[in-house]
Amino acid sequence: MKTVYYHIDVNSAFLSWEALYLLETGQLDYDLREKCAIIGGDETKRHGIVLAKSTSAKRYGIQTAEPVIKARQKCPNLIVVPPHYENYVKRSSEFITLLKEYAPVVEQYSIDEAFCDMSGTQNLYGNLDEFAYILKEKIYKTLGFTVNIGISDTKFLAKMASDFEKPDKVHTLYSDEIREKLWPLKVDDMLFVGRQTALKLHKLGINTIGDIALMDKTLLEQNFKKQGITMWNCANGKEMPGITGKEVANRGYSNEVTLPHDICDAGVAKTVILSLCETVSARIRVDKAYISVVSVGILDCEFEYHQKQVTLCEPTNITETIYENAAEIFDKLWNKSPIRLISVRCAKAVRENYMQYTLFGQEKNEKLSKLDSAIDSIRQKYGDDSIKRACFAKKAKKDDNSK
């Protein structure tokens, strides 16, 4: 049986989904995808970066993740629309549901892309290279947005193929096509190769994916350790880990905030950390999970990033426990420089039906766990603002009085 994978990637996903949302709700009478437009953060809150861009915006040289202010300089008439993540989750779910109607195995790779194992469906659909065009049109007519489809006998090559010319295209990159289609590409275009790795490869005289494929694997390992082996395997068309068709459990939870102004007060910083811990721990409990690692990250006014983590004695999903560890990390991490951004991340998540507490902390943990459950229930029923910690309520009152 011939192995055939599709990698299906939504074109300018956030912008496409936002355009549909604004048209359907009557907020706009034109299609954002036909304008020089981006989805971007709020510049007034200093986290204005480009999340997605239209084809027209791309022609102006606008790049994803660059500051919105730079994008405006490139295109004075740029249309900037804020994101609506709940809409993107809904569209993503519809996208995956449709794929499952046609593919026996679907693995969601991110919110806007998925792998489909089409092996064995030739008798049902005929030539799978040709059927990809039919599926692409079905997605557009049913859901209203375009996709790219990459086709190959390995996941990695299918993923690379879908990144060829965009939008609304189908490309093949089978193992017997890598010399012609893959090897001439720059190392910068290769999956798993970031900017710093690409710079190091160029310094070593390795400029194309073909250079990686033909290089001694041992030398790559010496210079890039495990990543060197991964690059060599991928450049030679070796497979990524196989598709399972199962949802991958969330192994980490994080949240961050770019502050309206730099802060130099530890108390204020810890209030922000507490807020981040509340949102992160709530998501952990929704997944019925427990985490074993807590980390805090700080970006200062000079854009230097510092991070530190701690491994807990036992897994937890209790807000207070996560916050206490995050606050302790912050005290050790902060060098008193003005803070621009704070992040909290919890990792090494496990899912268990029971928890073992220490003998002396069991009663306290049980009380805190019940308290968190009660708060979660109230917020789920009446909204996030229905119940607040006193420190947040006082801050909101103080902010109102200062206006």
List, by residue number, the catalytic residues. Answer: 113
**In 13-127, which residue ranges form alpha helices assigned H by DSSP?**
13-24, 55-59, 68-74, 85-102, 122-125
Which residues lie below 8 Å from residue 80, measured CB to CB, with a gap of 6+?
37, 38, 39, 40, 43, 68, 71, 72
CA-CA distance, 325 to 327, in Å (whole number)? Answer: 5
* Strand pairing report for 291-300 and 305-316: antiparallel
Q: Which residues contact 91 (CB under 8 A, 6 or more apart)?
A: 13, 17, 20, 143, 145
CB 53 within 8 A of CB 12: yes
Q: What is the strand order of the sheet 79-81 is part of?
A: 50-53, 37-40, 79-81
Token pair listed for 116: 């489909």
- Long-range contacts, stretch 123-127, CB < 8 angstroms, 24+ apart: none
Three-class HEC string of 248-274? CCCCEEEEEEEEEEEECCHHHHHHHHH
| Residues paired with 106 in a beta bridge | 116
Q: How far is CA 64 from CA 40, 54, 251, 317, 384, in A?
A: 9, 10, 26, 34, 31
Secondary structure class of 341 (helix, strand, coil): strand
Q: How far apart are CA 220 and CA 232, in angstroms?
A: 8
- Rounded-to-integer distance, Cα 344 and Cα 256, Å: 6
Angle 126-132-137 from CA coordinates, rounded to 5°: 120
Residues paired with 150 in a beta bridge: 7, 171
Q: In which element (H, E) is residue 170 found?
A: strand 170-172
